[in-house]
Structure 1
Amino acid sequence: MFVLTVDQRASTRRGDLVPELLADLAPFGARDGIVIGFDRTVGDEVQAVLDDAALVVEIVLAIGRWGGWSTGLGIGSVLTGPGGRLPAVSREASGPAFVHAREAVERAKTRGAPVPCAVDGPDPVAAGEVEALLRLLLAVGGRRTPAGWEVVDALARTGGTQKDVARVLGISEQAVSQRLRASLWPEEAAVRPVVTRLLQEADA
């Protein structure tokens, strides 16, 4: 399984933004793959347990786009209680995945690089590969312009073609194509399945 531990950066200066983060994450709550939903654990930290690698990648990239958070991804098992049941909230759960998530978020918080994301798991090499690709995708997203995000978001909403996006945004197909190229969206779209597969393998 996968544990995401997300800690607010510069909370003393920015105030408590956990309620806003939980509201932003709420749409993911109904998705398959959320085993224990996001909730505040302690202070300005939130946590969740997931079992879907693709959803983990999607959420990590979304949190990175919103900014202001250190994200630790732990890979491993989660202990169950009587009858094989998991607790209703993550702060009552435990297991190796939680230990790895704690180590990861602590490393993400102290990292001097501008991409505060770290991955930890039973296989350091596999976790390192996932971390490297996630940080690359986060860096690409961090350099995307508002115009680039506009076409990327429209493409995701419509689930259609560049022609559909051009019609929705009221711009030319050529402009859509130029924005997608400049935003490195084709490259990101190609890398996402790779990091998802590596994350699945790391949890195997």
Structure 2
Amino acid sequence: MGQRITSVLSALNIARSTYYQWKNWHPSQQETRRNALKTAIKAVYNTNRGIYGYRRITAFLRFILNTEVGDRWVWELMNEMSLKSRMVRKSYKKPTTTTDTPQKPNLMKNLDDLSGVLTTDITYIQLMNRDWVYPATVYDPEKRRVVSYGLSSEMPKEFATSVVVKALRANGKPKMIHSDMGSQYTSSLFEGTLQNAG
């Protein structure tokens, strides 16, 4: 038995006899092989504090036993032994905004000439610590460049409006500012800001 395999078996508390039962099985010894695999599955599961699911355990066993082990087989044996991954995948729902304002027509959709058009939007980025940050941009689709942007830990109407105000100061009055129908862009503050800018 190679030094690498011996070390791995020792670290996992798997008896060498279990390894040999697996390697030297015959068709008439299907039950022996099955029990050896169950022992190995339980050892990998316990060593990793129950975090590994059947796919990761299968991959681990393929490495240890140096032979093909099927995902489905490992899944069945884990079910028999009532072994389930303790890792619970948390769902982190992306923040959303809603509005009761009726949908407005998309005036930009059929334009051939995008000169004088600016678009604005807020997007969502989830950080490693699971917090959200919100980049807001004003984009010139004709020149293909961002003309104004901001970053915030919240997405109030004042934030969305301030990024547009920056763009108006730097670029003058556009023909049109296009946005989605999020609550920041249907607020009276946003609408009033555009009206005041003409």
Question: TM-score if structure 1 supplies the norm length?
Answer: 0.20
Q: Mark the structure with the bigger radius of gyration.
A: 2
> Is the helix fraction higher in 1 or 2?
1
Structure of higher RCO (CA pairs closer than 8 Å, 6+ residues apart):
1
Question: TM-score if structure 2 supplies the norm length?
Answer: 0.21
